[in-house]
Amino acid sequence: MVKIRVNGINYQLDVDPDTPLLWVLTEQLGLTGTKYSCGISECGSCTVHIDGEAELSCGISLGEVAGKDVVTIEGLKGRIADALRQAWIEEDVPQCGYCQSGQIMTAATLLKHNSDPSDDAIDGAMSDVLCRCGSYQGIRQAIHLAAGRKVS
Amino acid sequence: MKEKPLVQGRRDFIKIGTLAGTGLLVGVHLPNCSRHVEASHVSSENGVNMLAPNAWIRIRSDDTVTVMVNHSELGQGITTALPMIVAEELEADWSKIKVEIAPVEEVYKNPAFNTQMTASSTSVYTSWDILRKAGAMARETLISAAARAWKVPPSECYAQNGAVIHKPSQRSFRFGELVDKTAGIPVPEDVYLKKPEEFKIIGKRIPRLDTKIKTDGSAKFGIDIKLPEMLVAVVVHPPVFGGKVKSVDSQNTRKMKGIRDVVAIDAGIAVVADTFWQARLASDALQIEWEENENSKLNSDALFERWDEMAKSEGKTQYEIGDVDDFFGTDGKTHQAMYRIPYQGHATPEPMNCTAHVRDKDCEIWAPTQHQDAAQEVAARITGFDYEAIKVHTTFVGGGFGRRISVEYVVEAVQISKILKKPIKVIWTREEDTRNDRIRPATCNFMEAAIDSNGLPVAWRHRIVGADVFGQMLPKLIPSIMPYWVPRFLRNGLSGIGESLLPRVVPGKKAIKGAAPLQYNIANVRAEFINDDPGIPIGYWRSVSAFSNAFAVECFLDELAAESGEDPFDYRDRLLTNSPRMREVMKLAADKAGWKEKPPAGVHRGLAIHRFHDTDLCFVAEVSIHSRHEIRVHRVVCAVNCGIVINPKTIESQMESAVAFGLTSTLKSAITIRDGKIEQSNFDDYPILRIDEMPKVEVYTVQDTRSPTSIGEAGVPVIAPAVANAVFAATGIRVRKLPILPDDIKNT
Ligand code: FES
Ligand code: FES
């Protein structure tokens, strides 16, 4: 039995602790907003927050997050999250949408540490999250927009 | 207001009526509507006012208007664009618009292919007339119903923002209130369609309807499907193209946790487990021996050498004006070059997957697919069921780019579910997805031009060597393109014959897309194709041959400009005398980019034009070269004429997307073949453009009142030559292959 806390709910899971967190979230807990794309920590689409920091859930096992606080896109809340979602909608960022959970989860920790990131800071923080559809320009704009709002 | 004659619609053209208090359905469909229309008559809903399901619009008493979208949402924004067309003519309240992805039915077939398929950037232009008319018919019907209720002439009424208004008295009914008032109202066949200057929705930056659910994790993609009792399968495919299993030892696999079964299917060995991760782990424990296979000798390097050789002899002429032979082999000035374009992968962010449930008498499929009719067709073939017994649900699609036109993942899920009699979700690992991609063909392009005394080409020959996608894909498409009445045995038989025959007879015309006709005013032009299909699985890829052909054409043209010492813009301008529309687009891009002004220090510009279907484009790319010959693209200015713009934001997004997608192929990645295998397997060896490599993209559209043309693929062929030409401007080196890597320009 492994104990984890996901989106504020405590779970006791009878799952092999070596299972990547990604598959525990999607298959065991039904939190399908976190996405599998590469499985080798190359694309960022599986990004979640572990104890408040962005991590790749395909590269971390269930056992490693025992006792930790996991937040997925479904559970992402608060001022930064609201500002990001609103900005994402206003800028019409997503295309296919598949990478966007990873983008927003990563952007949320960026804004937590840097309330007014420059383009370079955005590029630096976001460069681990691939978007095959190329929504990058929208992502930059939306992060600026959200940054401008959430401080007020 | 215009006179709007109301006449009884032909039954085979439009069906309209009311569902008791629930909705008004309008369907405009092709005159040859078949089985599904009939079927709908039998399947009575609430037993009242039987309606055809071939509908584009559903108006409900809660005022919502549901638009049935017969195309897959791949990210291109089609589930916003098509409803905008309907809402415009219907005079609907945009905030009440809902979308449903259409099931597989005759009326929903893509008229460009006679199969329900989202491909070749056809969605908007094939839907334009149909959906406008559908919207207008519904509007006129609602107006008539209101007029009858008020006992006033319809000509005194008009529709606006989801309501019908009686002009003199200013009374109004919301659309929802009119639903029950339409019974017996004759449906107009000739309807007034708005003029562009009357548009209120079309041309506006209407936000996409699918954004919110794509920001909170609730959008459901194929990979997210979960059904009671569902098992998950991982399929191990042969490592070498066309490989077959010789023997398999699954003992260890079967002992692993969660494993329910290991089954052999046509494509390989499927490991079925309670969860993906269990199946994935256990699949590594399989001991499979594969049969020896001739294809293991295939190498892309060797293929390029072979094609170089083949390019020395003449190919089959696919297009010709004038006679190029008069100009080559004479004393006149000529210029030659060989361009080599590698295989490319799709790398859809969502790997191939499908969920299927084969029951005793019917089958249900959930798939992120671009080709619903093919999904239904393969399931019918495997299960032996009639089409009516096979239901296809299209989920959101995590990137398509043409990959999901073929439906191997559906075949696999249906085959496994048929054996195990349980709902099965097949998920390809990224590695399986990359290695079993149907890659975009590689080609060698031998270019030759004869130059006149003004430095302009008087003859132009483009000889393409490689395999044609169409030759491999057409046999796969045939069963889905055939009319529904064609019996199964004939369907299978014909596609069997097609499989062996077509790759040899059809290739050519599609392979020269983007190579000819040219926009340039050159008197003698010939495009030749030499078909050499080594048997590597190839498929459609965002813009397909236009990508490689445009690269060869636009770079070679740039070479000619350089040969004559002329500015690339001026040189093209002299050659575009017969293409005023393209000329205008090119001028727009050059003006916005400041082509005539000196670029900032260290920045160099390149330009390319392209006509994709009926869309004219010009890109200006700005690049700079950094330490270790790293090429950075800073800015791309895109000018586009795609007829009437439905939604400017969509055009911008699609251009940005085309730039990003194309830059991966221009500067980063390629698929190579060694020993009959794709060498790449994941994003570490097939890297995708990252945000820090994304240039600033500016998009400008030319105002035009032509019907909308294509946009989803149109920009992809333009970026590579624009960048390559900028690299030449920066370095003086003409890189005639892709991707352009630092090594290619290291001698600068
Ligand atoms: S799926 Fe985890 S980084 Fe790609
Ligand atoms: S929106 Fe499709 S991958 Fe990012």
Query: pLDDT band for position B505 (50/70/90)?
Result: low
Strands B171-174 and B163-166: antiparallel
For residue B27, pLDDT over 50 is answered with no
Share of chain B above pLDDT 70, in %: 91
Closest Cα of chain A to B556: distance in Å?
28
Concatenated DSSP letters of B337-354: EEEEE-BB----SSPPEE
Ligand closest to the CA atom of residue A23: 1
Is B144's pLDDT higher than 70? yes
**Residue of A21, A35, A38, A131 best suited for mutating to test ligand 1, as the one with most atoms within 8 Å of CB:** A38
Mutate to test the interface with A, among B78, B214, B350, B433 (most CBs of A within 10 A): B214
Q: What is the dihedral of CA B528, B534, B535, B536, to 10 degrees?
A: -90
Token reading at B256: 């692993």
Q: Are B379 and B426 members of one domain?
A: yes
Q: pLDDT tier at B40 (50, 70, 90 boundaries)?
A: very low
What angle do helix axes B568-575 and B545-563 make, rounded to 10 degrees? 110
Q: Distances in Å between the alpha carbon of B469 and those of B123, B504, B611?
A: 21, 12, 20
pLDDT at B28: 45
Residue B351 distance to chain A (closest CA, Å) = 7
Q: Which helix (H) or strand (E) holds B615?
A: strand B615-625
pLDDT band at B245 (very low <50, low <70, confident <90, very high): very high
- Please tell me whether residues B199 and B287 are part of one structural domain: no
- Expressed in angstroms and rounded, the spacing between residue B660 Cα and the centre of ligand 2 is 11
Beta bridge partners of B460: B449, B525
Ligand nearest to the CA of B211: 2
Among chain A residues, CA nearest to B713: A133
Interatomic CA distance for residues B166 and B393, integer angstroms:
42
State the average pLDDT over residues B70-80.
92
- Angle, in degrees to the nearest 10, between helices A119-126 and A136-150: 120
- pLDDT for B48 beyond 70: no
Please check whether residue B370 is in contact with residue B117, taking contact to mean a CB–CB distance below 8 angstroms: yes
What integer pLDDT is reported at residue B480 of this predicted model? Answer: 80
* Contact list, B351 vs chain A (CB under 8 Å): 36-37
Q: In A, which residues are within 8 Å of B218 by CB distance?
A: 33, 74
Question: Is there a single domain that holds both residue B446 and residue B431?
Answer: no
pLDDT at B25 over 90: no
B553 and B657 share a domain? yes
* pLDDT for res B51: 25
The model's confidence at residue B105, banded by pLDDT at 50, 70 and 90, is confident
Tens of pLDDT, residue by residue over B618-635, are: 999 999 999 999 999 999
B38 lies in some domain: no
Encode A5-62 in three state secondary structure.
EECCEEEEECCCCCCEHHHHHHHHCCCCCCCCCCCCCCCCCCEEEECCEEEECCCCEC
Q: What tokens appear for B386 in the block?
A: 């009639």
Higher confidence at residue B329 or residue B131?
B131
Rounded-to-integer distance, Cα B616 and Cα B588, Å: 12
**Mean of the pLDDT values across residues B596-609?**
97
User: Residue A94 and residue B215: Cβ atoms within 8 Å?
Assistant: yes
pLDDT of B408-425, one tens digit each? 999 999 999 999 999 999
Which positions 97-116 of A are in contact with B (Cβ < 8 Å)?
Answer: 97-101, 104
Report the C-alpha dihedral over residues B310, B313, B318, B320, rounded to 10 degrees: 150
Q: How far is B216 from chain A (nearest CA, A)?
A: 6
Q: Which amino acid residue places its CA nearest to atom 3 of ligand 1?
A: A41
Do residues B731 and B562 touch, judged by C-beta distance below 8 A? no
Note the pTM of the prediction, 2 decimals.
Answer: 0.93
Structure tokens at B564: 């004559």
Average pLDDT over residues B532-541: 94
pLDDT of residue B9: 28
Mean pLDDT of chain B: 90
pLDDT in tens, A58-100: 999 999 999 999 999 999 999 999 999 999 999 999 999 999 9
Same domain for B590 and B488? yes
CB B289 within 8 A of CB B278: no
Which residues fall within 8 angstroms of residue B291, CB to CB, at 6 or more apart?
Answer: B243, B244, B245, B246
Secondary structure (H, E, C), B39-57: HHHHCCCCCCCCCCCCCCE
Say what the pLDDT of residue B488 is: 78
Tokens of B43: 């399947």
Mean pLDDT of B79-93: 96
- Rounded Cα–Cα distance for residues A94 and A43 (Å): 16
Q: Is residue B1 part of a domain?
A: no
Residue B609: phi and psi, rounded to 5, are -120, 160
Which three-class secondary structure state does DSSP give residue B502?
helix
Residue B198: other Cβ atoms inside 10 A: 11
Q: What percent of chain A has pLDDT over 70?
A: 98
Residues B411 and B528 in one domain: no
B132 inside domain: yes
Residue nearest to atom 4 of ligand 2 (CA): A131
Ligand 2 center from residue B713 Cα (angstroms)? 16
Q: Which residue do the tokens 């999904």 mark?
A: B375
The residue among B69 and B723 whose pLDDT is bigger is B723
pLDDT for position B500: 66
Q: Which residue has the higher pLDDT, B10 or B648?
A: B648
Report the candidate in B424, B337, B413 with the shortest Cα–Cα distance to residue B382. B413
Domain that holds residue B670: 301-343+440-745
CA B695 to chain A, closest CA, distance in angstroms equals 8
- CB contact, 8 Å: A123 with chain B? yes
- Is the Cβ–Cβ distance between A144 and A120 less than 8 Å? no
Answer whether residue B210 is part of any domain: no
Q: Are residues B426 and B478 in the same domain?
A: no
Distance B662 CA to ligand 2 centre (A): 15
Q: From residue B183, give the alpha-carbon distance in Å to each of B13, B142, B144, B145, B173.
A: 18, 10, 11, 8, 16
Q: Are residues B310 and B401 in the same domain?
A: no
Same structural domain for residues B544 and B685?
yes
Query: By percentage, how much of chain B surpasses pLDDT 90?
Result: 78
Nearest ligand by distance to the CA of A39: 1
Asked which of B418, B435, B452 is the last residue of a domain, the reply is B435
Whether the per-residue pLDDT at B50 is higher than 70: the answer is: no
Q: Work out the minimum CA distance from A152 to partner chain B, whole angstroms.
A: 22
HSE, side-chain direction, 13 A CA sphere, residue B721? 29
Domain end marker among B152, B173, B204: B204
Regarding whether B462 and B427 lie in a shared domain, the answer is no
Tell me, yes or no, whether B324 lies in a domain: yes
Amino acid at site B373 = D
| Residue B543 pLDDT level (bands cut at 50, 70, 90) | very high
pLDDT band for position B55 (50/70/90)? low
Contacts with A99 from chain B: Cβ below 8 Å? 349
Q: What is the CATH number of the domain that holds B162?
A: 3.30.365.10
The Cα of A67 is separated from the nearest Cα of chain B by a number of Å equal to 22
The number of domains in chain B is 3
pLDDT at B13: 28
Mean pLDDT within A103-115: 97
Q: Does one domain contain both B426 and B445?
A: no
Residue among A37, A89, A140 whose CB faces B349 most closely: A37
Q: Are B106 and B484 in contact (CB under 8 A)?
A: yes
Number of residues in chain A: 152
Residue of chain A minimizing CA distance to B275: A27
CA distances from B17 to B10, B51, B53, B56 (A): 14, 7, 11, 14
Domain boundary among B413, B435, B457: B435
- For the cut 60, the answer to whether the pLDDT of residue B321 exceeds it is yes
- B50 vs B164 pLDDT, higher one: B164
Q: What pLDDT, in 10s, does the model give residues B261-283?
A: 999 999 999 999 999 999 999 99
pLDDT at residue B477 in the model? 79
Closest to B688 (Cβ–Cβ): which among A84, A90, A132?
A132
Is A33 within 8 Å of B217 when comparing Cβ atoms? yes
* d(CA B22, ligand 2 centre) in Å: 37
Task: Check CB contact under 8 Å for A134 and B694.
Answer: yes
Per-residue confidence (pLDDT) for residue B177, from 0 to 100 = 86
Q: Is residue B359 part of a domain?
A: yes
pLDDT band at B35 (very low <50, low <70, confident <90, very high): very low
Determine the residue among A6, A84, A133 to mutate to test chain B binding: the one whose Cβ has the most chain B Cβ atoms within 10 Å.
Answer: A133
- Full set of structural domains in chain A with CATH: 2-75 (3.10.20.30), 79-149 (1.10.150.120)
The helix, strand and coil proportions of chain B, stated in percent and rounded to the nearest 5, come to: 35, 25, 40
Asked, for residue B10, whether it belongs to a domain, the answer is no
Query: Strand, coil or helix: what is B319?
Result: strand
Q: What is the mean pLDDT of residues B207-228?
A: 97
Angle at B118 between CA B485 and CA B618, to 5 degrees: 140
Per residue, the 3-state secondary structure of B394-438, as one string, reads ECECCCCCCHHHCCHHHHHHHHHHHHHCCCEEEECCHHHHHHCCC
Centre of ligand 1 to C-alpha A39, Å, is 5
Residue in chain A nearest B695 by alpha carbon: A137
Q: What tokens appear for B21 in the block?
A: 């208090």
Give me the pLDDT at residue A149, please: 85
Residue B695 region by backbone torsions, left for phi larger than 0, else alpha for psi between -120 and 50, else beta: beta
**B473 or B326, which is more confident?**
B326
pLDDT tens digits, B349-405: 999 999 999 999 999 999 999 999 999 999 999 999 999 999 999 999 999 999 999
Both B639 and B671 in one domain: the answer is yes
- Please tell me if the CB atom of residue A45 comes closer than 6 angstroms to any atom of ligand 1: yes
Check if A42 has its Cβ closer than 6 Å to any atom of ligand 1.
yes
Q: What is the mean pLDDT of residues B84-96?
A: 96
Q: Which of residues 21-40 of A touch B (CB under 8 A)?
A: 23, 26-28, 30-40
Look at strands B163-166 and B157-160 and give their pairing. antiparallel
Q: Does the pLDDT value for residue B508 go beyond 80?
A: no
**Among candidates B217, B224, B349 on the partner chain, residue whose Cβ is nearest the Cβ of A132:** B349
Q: Is the pLDDT of residue B8 over 50?
A: no
The three-state secondary structure class of B7 is coil
In a domain, B503, yes or no: yes
